[in-house]
Amino acid sequence: MVSKRLSRLDGHRRKFLAVIDDTPECSRAVHYAGRRAKNSNGGLVLLYVIPEGDFQQWLGVEEIMRTEAREAAEAVMAKSAQTVRETIGIEPEIVIREGNAADEILSVIEDDRDIAILVLAAGSAKDGPGPLVSMIAARTQAFAIPVTVLPDNLTNEEIDALC
């Protein structure tokens, strides 16, 4: 259960959440979420989740690996944020978490009660629509906020026309 959204109250604004990962469809979700945020005077939150369980080494090695993963996440997020600034003209919020992707997505939504829409893009691979779309679709409970899933064949120009 997610807390009541505050995005329509005075002093708040609706935010769109896009998850940054290494899939090709990620950039389409960010583009759509950014355009929707700009066109509705809302905000854009970019989330990167560092997978859990990759740091089960000796303490010193574990800390080095964790630091390297964090630095890599920060570099990916800086590039994504710069692309949003240049192509859409808004300043995104950056969130980096470590853990299970589904748990962290829900946690970010719970922590920021202005987030009202999660935006994902379906992949075109023969093995399915992509890891995030598959994860959300496989949940036994309904998702607590609306989830927008973009089809795999939209160009940025077509996305702009939809927004």
Please tell me which residue, 131 or 16, carries the higher pLDDT value: 16
DSSP class of residue 153 equals T
Residue-wise pLDDT for 129-162, tens only, equals 777 777 777 765 667 789 999 988 888 899 999 8
Q: pTM for the full model?
A: 0.87
pLDDT at 109 over 70: yes
C-alpha dist (Å) from residue 36 to 9, 44, 79, 130, 162? 19, 9, 20, 22, 9
DSSP letters for 6-69: -TTSTT---EEEEEE-SSTTHHHHHHHHHHHHHHTT-EEEEEEEEETTS--S-HHHHHHHHHHH
Given this model, what pLDDT does residue 89 score?
Answer: 97
Given this model, what pLDDT does residue 52 score?
Answer: 79
Q: How many CB atoms lie within 10 A of CB 97?
A: 18
Residue-wise pLDDT for 84-97, tens only, equals 999 999 999 999 99
Given this model, what pLDDT does residue 27 score?
Answer: 93
What residue spans define the domains of the chain? 15-162
* 15-162, CATH topology level: Rossmann fold (3.40.50)
pLDDT at 56 over 80: no
What span, in angstroms and rounded, lies between the C-alpha atoms of 62 and 65? 5
Given this model, what pLDDT does residue 84 score?
Answer: 97
